[in-house]
Homo-oligomer: A and B are copies of this chain.
Amino acid sequence: MPLDPARQGEFGFIRALARRAGRAGRRWPLGIGDDAAILAPRSGYELAVTLDALHEDVHFRLATTDARSLGHKALVVNLSDLAAMGARPLGFVLGLGLPPELEPRVLEGFAGGLLAAARASSCPLVGGDTTRAARLAIAITAIGEVPRGCALRRSGARPGDHLFVTGTLGAAALGLRELECAAPLSGLSARAVARQRRPRARLREGTRLRESGLASAAIDVSDGLVQDLGHLLERSGVGAELWLERLPTERGFARVCATRGLDPTLLAASGGEDYELLFCASRAPSAAALAKKLGCRVTEIGRITRARRLVTLREGEPVELSASGFDHFKTVAARSEK
């Protein structure tokens, strides 16, 4: 059954979407189709609840966005928040504001990408709300579970803690710039675009990190490393030194940045949308040992300090970064719209 709210009406559309979504599974005695979904929580567990929204012409433009990728990303940005808590996804509700002129094939693509990401992460669609809106608006609330008292928080970092990040930084931000130029994409440029469009959430790594008991604090890198590190430091009441020359990037990243006139360090430090995990650990396992534990690349990139400020160092010398990350209101001029 196609997805076409203009012909199906609100409720026909919801039925068609529900059919594609399938059953929510045994943790949900009641899924789509009632006034609310019903979740049966597991004894001994707490629930992590997060909401992230994407708005047309702010977070994406329909002209340059692949609809399937948009659906994928709308869920994954929420899953990344669950990953940062060390939570396992249980399901999500979807708020869709649909412009009447939205083409059915866009909605098809969106739903396909969204539900594929839902299946891949065992995070079923269990309910929501569909209405008209002047621009396409997507709000998702994802719910995950975590053993009682074990959620990773932003607030536990202590002076002396080692600062680690998973994976690599800056590629998604590079991908955003690559999308804006008309040149054909290959190699790292193509991979960077893919990462921009279809990020993945570090769910498995977040769970393993929580199980390891090593992390004193954690956050996901969505607004940019420096910005998100700032949140973690603020909540923990500490500062940090950040070693810029250690920031992990893709092979060839600096070279591609150079050809584009971009500062690779700035992009890695503040580009945003990396959806990596940034975390602190008081004991000092090597990054290699952590990488083995989590099953992904892990790099030590700094140290937590008592002084409540963030000092960026390059080869041990303090340097200033010219931009510090994404703020939805303050940096409108500094950052072009996606």
Contact = CB atoms under 8 A, between A and B. Distances in A.
Number of copies: 2
Contacts of A45: 41
A132 B36 contact: no
A33 to B, nearest CB: 6
A328 B40 contact: no
Given A35-B50, A50-B127, A53-B139, 17 more contacts: A30-B153, A34-B153, A35-B81, A36-B50, A36-B81, A37-B49, A39-B47, A49-B127, A51-B94, A51-B95, A51-B127, A53-B97, A55-B131, A55-B134, A56-B134, A132-B329, A133-B137
A38 B235 contact: no
A220 B35 CA distance: 7
Contacts of A153: 30, 34
22 contacts: A9-B330, A10-B327, A10-B329, A10-B330, A11-B327, A30-B151, A35-B50, A35-B218, A35-B220, A37-B49, A40-B46, A41-B41, A41-B45, A49-B127, A51-B94, A52-B129, A53-B95, A53-B139, A55-B134, A57-B134, A58-B131, A100-B332
A84 B151 CA distance: 32
Closest CB pairs A-B (n = 10): A139-B139, A141-B141, A36-B50, A36-B48, A9-B330, A35-B84, A55-B133, A53-B95, A51-B93, A35-B81
A329 to B, nearest CB: 4
A329 B35 contact: no
A38 B29 CA distance: 21
Interface string A1-24: 000011011110100000000000
Contact of A29 (B34, B41, B46, B129): B46
Interface in A145-198: 146, 148-149, 151, 153-155
